[in-house]
Structure 1
């Protein structure tokens, strides 16, 4: 008789196989991530309301009369520190939180609405995250990006090979969702190619207590073979709802993050002991060098901050941009530093490049087309001027950074090879049209009641061109002096007075990179003073370009402080008015 032994034991074998597989899965799961419920009775942290800081004293008359402005260039930060590089994103000031952390604001990952400083028991601090979770796959993401640190180059990474990363989370009652579709939490990482890797999704089962999530980053490679743990660009925490949860589920409240750390990477150590955002900490640092003003880009090339219709007309300001502007004013107050906002940059008129369906550059028509120009004036510049009313922190309004690069050859002879390569050969805007644009902005500025408050300037690219704008109603003249090898004013000694008489003049940009200057910062500042200028702003604190050093470089920081010590009567812009303590 033929006996089917395999058939006889097939069910037993199948059951054993399934059990082994389950054990393997559990084993992998345990190695992939772990979760510890502390259950130590620690109550929910309390958000700390930071004290409101009063406005800075008005110093417009001093500056209008030629008082020295001890300032520097601080470009791009309205865009998260990388204007021109983060082409499709918007990492502005207002989505920052303590210690350089940010909240994601895109699509279904935008449930984190605010980051704030919070207090645990025993004088311990953490980061709070206000969230609005709604329906399935609603996610709150908070993260830290390595290359946003001011002294890190763009695309900087850190190696987390073999390291365990852990984080403490306090998840309050209600965030866990229904038992049939629980919410979850995880750690995630992105490498230099933005390849995503995440720890296993941990169901939130026991709210109202601190839990610790941890994962060995090496283990992620088994699930994400393309992920490079030796080149981590960003990392963070994701808390979200289950894909099976009912569409009516919602949670409005806060969770808390603390003690995120890696076993051997000093860059990944966050105890949130300070409330300062990354930008706030950096401005306080440069303010210690007696810097009193920051030249700060606002709309730049128009890719972010402005809302457009399908025909390219401006319809208004993005809500995030308005929040960023308010945060900029708060930062000025808390750090006692004035702002020189630059409305637009010459790259606005560069050849358009579409990146991930977003137009970068390519908006010369906002100046050339009268109807589109009016939409820009009415729906963007007008409301931002209204927000400037009464804001003493806005010292000077810089209408445009280096507009000459956009002018037609017929109006301005630019030496061959000197026009930026992003600009169409021969230029894109007539001088008369550019002057009309500036005149319309100045008229609007007067209509909004800013004339006796904030001052007006235009950031000319060269001293040889600054007189193009002298017939406009500006309060303070400005030119940039790039006189190093290959620059527009190659070899030009800084030994001349202002080309424009009757109003003060300051140098809005000069290089701090040894390969691109004739004079170091100490020499340049003294030349500006002795030649009768009202300031000289070195380029640039966090431009992260090939024309500057990170944090301006040690030499320039030393020179800024030395000049302030040598000429306190010049640098002390507000004299004895500032004896208040603005801790923020």
Structure 2
């Protein structure tokens, strides 16, 4: 366990919690670890595996631990999309809407808001084999007119949706700070701007965000290195931080951003057992609340009863509030009471 001092822990234990202004959330990106084909079949041919009972259990657990928002992923690397021979999006498969409506019904039954994220990988890659809508204007128009705008017409005013996130960690494929950058920052920023404007043109009340990986090292200060999407029209910023402490995160004001800042993903860097997870969750929540963040969402809830694709052993499991046997870890209650 990595703490700065016992004196520091005593101080943060009595830090203001700002409960009324703080959104406590959980990530449950896809159904029972079936990435890319849980709501509908994928472009790559994987069959949909949606389970209404899994979603019922997810939202019941989210309610139990006091999560107000559940962040899920929608199209990931092409899930549910219909594309033509040019790789342009022409529509959405019918089972996607049926299953997403079921997700929303479980959210409503538990009094929880859904925070959906549209995309993850870069387009025109093996993981996301559609035309590059960042650089191909025809592909971008097809995406907006055949997917994004119709989706917002249907769901933009849905009271069970908190906000729409355009991309998961977009700066990871656009900012040269990261080795995986495949488009430039200006192109990414222009796409966020135009897509946000398109959403607002359909429903001016729809809230929009884009998430980004935290940048902070000796040569890239927080207040100048996390500004990629300022001026794009998004309603808030969503920054992801992982740490084996969590108490050292900066105050939201340090980012020098012009809108509220949410900690859209947080969690351990390494799995070191339940006590370590408890301490990390506690420290992140205390620091985020005291530091003026608008909310914090743990990565991730996990699934009761089984953890396929997650577990080696309970001693080094991370990123889930359930253990390898599907039982609640200590972190489940730490999240609940933090």
Q: TM-score, normalised by structure 2?
A: 0.76
Equivalent residue, structure 2, for 1:468: 228
Equivalent residue, structure 2, for 1:399: 166
Residue 495 to residue 446, structure 1, CA distance change in 2 (3 Å) = closer
How far apart in 2 are the matches of 1:92 and 1:429? 32
Equivalent residue, structure 1, for 2:6: none
Unaligned runs of 5+ in 1: 1-65, 98-276, 353-359, 485-489, 564-584
CA shift at 1:432, angstroms? 1.6
Equivalent residue, structure 2, for 1:83: 35
Residue 391 to residue 536, structure 1, CA distance change in 2 (3 Å) = same
Query: Which residue among 56, 59, 66 is the counterpart of 1:280?
Result: 56
CA shift at 1:379, angstroms? 0.5
2:84 matched to 1:309? Answer: yes
Q: What does residue range 30-49 of structure 1 map to in structure 2 within 5 Å?
A: none
How far apart in 2 are the matches of 1:473 and 1:338? 22
Equivalent residue, structure 2, for 1:74: 28
Are the aligned partners of 1:505 and 1:533 in contact in 2 as well (CA < 8 Å)?
A: yes
Equivalent residue, structure 1, for 2:137: 370
Report the 3-state secondary structure (helix = DSSP H, G, I; strand = E; otherwise coil) of the residue aligned with 1:333.
helix
Residue 440 to residue 315, structure 1, CA distance change in 2 (3 Å) = same
Q: What does residue range 352-431 of structure 1 map to in structure 2 within 5 Å?
A: 352=126, 360-363=127-130, 365-407=132-174, 412-414=176-178, 419=179, 423=180, 427-431=181-185
1:512-540 CA distances to partner (integer Å, 9 max, x unpaired)? 46538895101110110011111111111
Query: Which residue among 253, 256, 266 is the counterpart of 1:500?
Result: 256
2:324 matched to 1:549? Answer: no
Are the aligned partners of 1:522 and 1:556 in contact in 2 as well (CA < 8 Å)?
A: no
Query: Which residue among 479, 483, 506 is the counterpart of 2:243?
Result: 483
1:14-45 CA distances to partner (integer Å, 9 max, x unpaired)? xxxxxxxxxxxxxxxxxxxxxxxxxxxxxxxx
How far apart in 2 are the matches of 1:442 and 1:365? 18
Equivalent residue, structure 2, for 1:540: 300
Q: TM-score, normalised by structure 1?
A: 0.45
How far apart in 2 are the matches of 1:491 and 1:562? 17
2:119 matched to 1:344? Answer: yes
Residue 500 to residue 555, structure 1, CA distance change in 2 (3 Å) = farther
How far apart in 1 are the matches of 2:283 and 2:247? 15
Residue 502 to residue 431, structure 1, CA distance change in 2 (3 Å) = closer
Report the 3-state secondary structure (helix = DSSP H, G, I; strand = E; otherwise coil) of the residue aligned with 1:299.
strand
CA shift at 1:551, angstroms? 3.2
Are the aligned partners of 2:242 and 2:268 in contact in 1 as well (CA < 8 Å)?
A: no
Residue 89 to residue 69, structure 1, CA distance change in 2 (3 Å) = same
How far apart in 1 are the matches of 2:104 and 2:129? 29
Q: What does residue range 52-451 of structure 1 map to in structure 2 within 5 Å?
A: 67-77=21-31, 81-83=33-35, 88-93=45-50, 96=51, 277-302=53-78, 304-345=79-120, 347-349=121-123, 351-352=125-126, 360-363=127-130, 365-407=132-174, 412-414=176-178, 419=179, 423=180, 427-449=181-203, 451=204
CA RMSD between the two structures = 2.8
Are the aligned partners of 1:294 and 1:337 in contact in 2 as well (CA < 8 Å)?
A: yes
How far apart in 2 are the matches of 1:335 and 1:306? 29
Report the 3-state secondary structure (helix = DSSP H, G, I; strand = E; otherwise coil) of the residue aligned with 2:142.
helix
The structure whose residues are more often strand, as a share, is 1
Residue 514 to residue 432, structure 1, CA distance change in 2 (3 Å) = closer
Are the aligned partners of 2:82 and 2:90 in contact in 1 as well (CA < 8 Å)?
A: yes
Query: Which residue among 505, 510, 515 is the counterpart of 2:271?
Result: 515
CA shift at 1:336, angstroms? 1.2
Residue 397 to residue 472, structure 1, CA distance change in 2 (3 Å) = same
The structure whose residues are more often helix, as a share, is 2
Report the 3-state secondary structure (helix = DSSP H, G, I; strand = E; otherwise coil) of the residue aligned with 1:296.
strand
Pair member with larger Rg: 1
How far apart in 1 are the matches of 2:36 and 2:199? 28
Residue 283 to residue 483, structure 1, CA distance change in 2 (3 Å) = same
How far apart in 1 are the matches of 2:202 and 2:322? 36
Unaligned runs of 5+ in 2: 1-19, 39-43, 216-221, 311-316
How far apart in 1 are the matches of 2:33 and 2:115? 17
